[in-house]
Amino acid sequence: MNDLLPQNATTWQFIESSFQHLMKQYGYGEIRMPIVEKTELFKRSIGEVTDIVEKEMYTFEDRNGDSLTLRPEGTACCVRACLQHGLLHNQQQRLWYMGPMFRHERPQKGRYRQFHQMGVETFGMAGPDIDVELITMIARFWKVLGIEDDVRLEINSLGTSTERTAYKKLLVEYLTQHKDKLDDDSLRRLNTNPLRVLDSKNPDLKDIISKAPKLLDHLDAASADYFRQLCASLDKLKINYVVNTSLVRGLDYYSQTVFEWVTDSLGAQGTVCAGGRYDGLVEQLGGKATTAIGFAMGVERLVSMVEQSATDIKPAAPDLYIIAAGENVQQFAFSVVETVRDEIPALSVLLNCDGGSFKSQMKKADKSGAANALIIGEDEVAEKKICIKNLRNKEPQQKLTLTELVQFLK
Ligand code: ATP
Ligand code: MG
């Protein structure tokens, strides 16, 4: 779990505010959920035989003996909140959220125990137009972040649960023939959740997985047509993608469209955004059958990509540093800075506190990165004037009244 320090916060703010703006552009509403939910919620939605539920959840008993879990992802929480507040009664929803998620994984680059996701969940739209909207919106976001050349889209279809049940039989037959080459995790999943074998990160299984029968070849006409429409629409919008037939996602609730945006620039943890359709989840959690699709992006991975990219994000330096040196000058300095903040709200103004000599305050002003310093000494207070000094260029210092100063700064 990481601390975020001011020197890194600028990149985070850039990414978060860009996402908020994107959501406004597309007409999505924000939802904030608590970070703790009943453990049952995640077991029922994500699935008992998944990495998350099997070994990654932070689960504890609270003082009432209820089993609670720090949320490992947002979708289940969002569905729970929507059901609880009646947001899905005969209406469509387009929602977004951002915040911390918790998974007890082996920490490594791009994989942390508290990490952050920005996500979208939509309800009541059967697609594939809404699928296209989400993918288009994400593609736009990469451009805003300046990383569009470093990510690629992989898509697949998981069909319906009926199609998956039929396909699982074929898959199990095939994997059973190669039982001797499977690792322990995959052997266990062969019996409990065979699709999950396709999601294995073990490089030794790559070959077996790539030669396995493909769910995409076993979809019925309706699902196949849905996927064809999605692809055709992306083609028309000139959004590049590759069909990855072994993309199954690590969570159980997906159906039809699934997608991931991946990069080669982050090493092993290359998925920066992942999502898909989960038409069965709302009903599974006690609501009326409701179509749904969403995605989540890992913010830490985006921060790494933006830091590596050419996108120039300057740490915010103040515009003005106020030097107040001498006897009884601070009160005048306060009234000056407050007036400046009233009159020019966009300026970032840093007032020297705790005194110090003129020289030491000048040093602090320089170090702050501010473009200009306002200098207030005993003479200035007596004359009710303020000196302004450009800290970055050699320009003559000026002495101005407060009104002149505001005019000058404007
Ligand atoms: P992975 O295959 O990398 O384990 P996942 O399928 O578990 O991913 P999702 O649940 O789909 O991941 O989460 C969506 C995104 O959140 C991921 O693509 C990734 O960018 C990010 N993410 C997931 N787990 C972590 C983590 N432990 N630390 C940092 N980011 C993470
Ligand atoms: Mg994972």
Sheet-wide strand order for 36-38: 36-38, 67-70, 58-61
Whether the pTM exceeds 0.85: the reply is yes
Nearest ligand to the CA of 113 is 1
Mean pLDDT, rounded, for 132-158 = 97
Residue bearing the CA closest to ligand 1, atom 19: 298
What is the position in ligand 1's atom list of the atom closest to the CA of 296? 14
| Test site for ligand 1: of 55, 105, 269, most ligand atoms within 8 A of the Cβ | 269
State if residue 146 touches ligand 1 by the CB under 6 angstroms criterion.
no
Structural domain includes residue 315: no
Domain of 99, in residue numbers:
6-159+219-308
SS (H, E, C) 174-235: HHHHCHHHCCHHHHHHHHHCHHHHHHCCCHHHHHHHHCCCCHHHHCCHHHHHHHHHHHHHHH
Same domain, yes or no, for 287 and 375? no
Rounded to the nearest angstrom, the distance between the alpha carbon of 380 and the centre of ligand 2 is 62
Percent of the chain with pLDDT over 90: 82
- The answer on 21 and 109 residing in a single domain is yes
Q: What's the CATH number where 50 sits? A: 3.30.930.10
Q: Which amino acid is at 265?
A: S
Co-location of 350 and 403 in the same domain: yes
Q: Which of 288, 308, 328 is the C-terminal boundary of a domain?
A: 308
Residues 77 and 46: their CA atoms lie apart, in Å, by 11
pLDDT greater than 90 at residue 101? yes
DSSP string, 76-87: HHHHHHHHHTTT
Report CA-CA distances (Å) from 81 to 223, 319, 399. 29, 43, 59
Same domain, 304 and 324: no
Are residue 369 and residue 269 in the same domain, yes or no? no
Q: What average pLDDT does this structure show over 139-157?
A: 96
Query: Does the residue 32 lie in any domain?
Result: yes
Q: Identify the CA nearest to 72 among candidates 121, 22, 111.
A: 111
Do residue 285 and residue 324 come from a single domain?
Answer: no
Asked if 371 and 392 count as a contact pair (C-beta separation under 8 A), the reply is yes
Residue 276 sits in the same domain as residue 374: no
Interval 324-351 mean pLDDT: 95
DSSP structural state of residue 263:
-
Q: What is the pLDDT of residues 182-224, one digit of tens each?
A: 999 899 888 888 988 998 888 899 899 989 999 999 999 999 9
**Within a domain: 179:** no
**Is residue 188 assigned to a domain?**
no
404 lines ligand 1 (CB under 6 A): no
What's the confidence (pLDDT) of residue 200?
85
**Could you tell me the CATH number of the domain that includes residue 394?**
3.40.50.800
Atom of ligand 1 nearest to the CA of 52: 7
Atom of ligand 1 nearest to the CA of 117: 16
Q: What is the pLDDT of residue 248?
A: 85
Distance CA 5, CA 395 (A): 35
- Tell me the two tokens of residue 95: 């929602």
User: Given the CA of residue 295, which atom of ligand 1 is nearest to it?
Assistant: 14
Same domain for 292 and 334, yes or no, is: no
113 and 105 Cβ atoms separated by less than 8 Å:
yes
60 and 129: one domain? yes
Structural domain count, the chain: 2
Residue 27 domain-assigned? Answer: yes
Say whether both 278 and 362 belong to one domain. no
| Structure confidence by residue, pLDDT tens digits, 238-294 | 999 999 998 987 667 888 999 999 999 988 889 999 999 999 999 999 999 999 999
Helix-helix angle 6-26:299-308, to 10 degrees: 110
CA-proximal residue: ligand 1, atom 16 (nearest): 298
